[in-house]
Amino acid sequence: MQHIKTTFTITPQVDSDMLIAMLANIGYDGFEETGTELLAYIEESRYSKDELNVIAEALNVPYDTEVIAAQNWNAVWESNFQPVVVNDFCTIRAHFHDIKVTTPYEIIITPKMSFGTGHHATTQLMITLMKDIPFAGASVLDFGSGTGVLAIMAELLGATKILAIDNDEWCVENAIENAERNNCKHITVALGSSLDEVAVNSSDVVLANINRHILLQYMADLYSVTRKGGKLLMSGLLKEDESIIKDAAEKEGFDFEKINEQDGWIALLFKK
């Protein structure tokens, strides 16, 4: 699947955090800041020039776009991907990083045409909240798995049955490779754009790091696949999304438990 790369020229008058937040809400899920530019990536099928123009005009920021072929993505990530340490708890690195790891957990991620390297605040927020969830012997659903980093984290924490779902063939292939690279034995990766397309059993823990629109669309489904007493952990959300997501989750029957926040992004933990 091809992606659209949008390059924005950043000046002191441009609020880059606001720009990233607005782009995330229309489906952009990969960002790289170079100082004078912001590079943003979105799946070609989700790209809307009209939506992009609304944001660009609102913030008065010029941009250019180009199509990024899937086969070029490895080289892009290998040249930019640096190791990430999440709260002295987990180190996320690529196979080509030769570093000393001092955290209790280590995940090796080699991304293809997929996102989820641990750099984004939402991934770090999810992992931080996962520390306090009992995963030993748990069944887990990772909905929108990307590179598979959260599914791998779940197995490292003791989960014994993990289903990772993504609607992108590159993500599925990459998650399988990453699971194998981390010697995971309990992860099954499936291709699907909705929970209806994949046989999903009731799960002790459901992980969903996607975006507000998808989470709202599938909230009822997420409730149905979470066992009674189970946990739902969601991110891909901005601080201003908090009340909207809380209301939708509680309407389905979830009870709010905890929030984690970083750089304007949030992760929310619920119990069924």
Tell me if 50 sits within 8 A of 8, measured CB to CB: no
**Residue 184: both structure tokens together:** 């995971």
Domain assignment of residue 247, yes or no: yes
pLDDT value of residue 71: 54
Secondary structure class of 163 (helix, strand, coil): strand
**Residues 182, 258 within the same domain:** yes
Tell me the CATH number at 245. Answer: 3.40.50.150
Domain assignment of residue 251, yes or no: yes
**Residues 34, 152 within the same domain:** no
Angle separating helix axes 149-156 and 121-130, nearest 10 degrees: 20
Domain assignment of residue 91, yes or no: no
Final residue belonging to a domain, choices 12, 34, 68 = 68
Q: Per-residue confidence of the chain (272 residues) as pLDDT tens digits?
A: 688 999 999 887 888 878 988 998 898 877 777 768 888 988 888 899 999 999 999 999 999 999 987 655 556 656 667 788 999 999 998 888 888 999 999 999 876 655 666 677 889 999 999 998 999 999 999 999 988 999 999 999 999 999 999 988 878 998 999 999 999 999 999 998 777 767 677 899 999 998 888 899 999 999 999 999 999 999 989 898 999 999 999 999 999 999 999 888 899 999 99
As a whole number of angstroms, the distance between CA 168 and CA 265 comes to 24
DSSP classification of residue 13: T
**Residues 124, 25 within the same domain:** no
Final residue belonging to a domain, choices 32, 50, 68 = 68
**Residues 125, 252 within the same domain:** yes
Tell me the CATH number at 19. Answer: 3.30.70.980
As a whole number of angstroms, the distance between CA 15 and CA 212 comes to 21
Domain assignment of residue 109, yes or no: no
Domain assignment of residue 119, yes or no: yes
**Residues 228, 168 within the same domain:** yes
Beta bridge partners of 4: 42, 67
pLDDT value of residue 79: 62
* Of 66, 52, 58, nearest in space to 14 by CA: 58
The tally of domains found in the chain comes to: 2
Q: Which domain holds residue 221?
A: 115-271
Domain assignment of residue 89, yes or no: no
